Structure 1
């Protein structure tokens, strides 16, 4: 066993010290939001709340959870995240599997269409016209249909599927399996890192999206959680006493409701991430090393 010198110990101390500093700087904003959400709103305006609530209260959460619009928005957001991410992962993987086949005709044309679609956009107004012609406006489908195919992950998935040994497909074809059965029984099970990475990124994008709810939806029953958060943020210009009168609680402010909604929106992602972390770490290395 090699003996460690004083210089090695000093370097380790500096490196771990810097890592600890980066960790604190990264996590503290989330911790601060959590602390403010459990502190009285009017007391938070005075400042000086940094590490723990000065006046502990659950009033912010009581006001937040007493509004049925938040429950409805949370349900819509959860539904669009699950359905949107699931359809996007399935369709993107299916299209990528077809493009990864070496014997595919007009392959260059298909890839050219994908590249153009990824780098160029028609703009908001043509996009709105297309959604209107497809009768997707003011419906739940407007959240999931336009995102069913991810061109970015499509290229990554094509590269991943090309690395899968052809012998697996050939042996399955010899046993009489068709392409769909090969895709479902062989390709998808060995593509767990790819699918988990796609699901995480697409799911977080669906969870955080609010522009589509603001531009393409008019029904309050279809508003998302992030859209409701933006409404609360826009109310930050209202005087504190007006917000307190509207909520019926003298200690609740628009800012305290903002941070409370942030905590509620962050918790689901934090709970889901540990289950995908193992596959996510492997998926981030896709295409980075070639043998």
Structure 2
């Protein structure tokens, strides 16, 4: 049942988890050339986020038979917050990078509901230094918002806003038939969303609509590694990111602070994709 619930949430929240993959090798293309990638990520939250989502699924079912307590209602809001911050999700990604100057790349990436504009600079080159090393920065924003759909049956997320700033650092090597890369993964995100809980009517209880909001910051700290195989210009690769998310959030009901929300969790983030360079 938990696997089925996870699969269902992945469908409902497609593209809504922040993209932790980079799918970029540790080098930039030669001046005037392009690197591009197309693939799919899967976000698997564990710890607090996974526990809250599980609890939210149970409480959504319980609400069909009895009135929920104040603490249970808050748990539903927190479960909605967990979905806002990092839901289990399948995220498509498409990225293009152009080397405008020697060693310097500009790139644009689309990940489900977000756009990211970034840049990279190659500090070390394999043919001169024995290894490739790039550093960069990027800014992303969710431009389509969170889908206005009912999740957990009675919890709806609305007015979803998220900004992200990340610092990609990649070290690795490459040849005519392979790409190998890895490095730390650092990303700061701000989030804000409206939450509506539609409590159904049951015997002795007329039902109720409760509205809240959740806002805060999240810091992802971890590492990633990837490998791709192909020939010359086209490569098929896999990448794995493991990251801890540290959060500071605030839940407000009717404009008044209701509780501090702690959603610290560990995220497992595999990805697969096609990489080209021309």
Identify whether the pair has TM-score above 0.5, normalized to the shorter chain.
Answer: no
Q: Name the structure, 1 or 2, with higher relative contact order (CA <8 Å, separation 6+).
A: 1
- TM-score, normalization by structure 1: 0.27
Q: From the two aligned structures, give the one with the greater strand fraction.
A: 2
Q: Which has the higher helix share?
A: 1
Normalised by the length of structure 2, the TM-score is 0.28
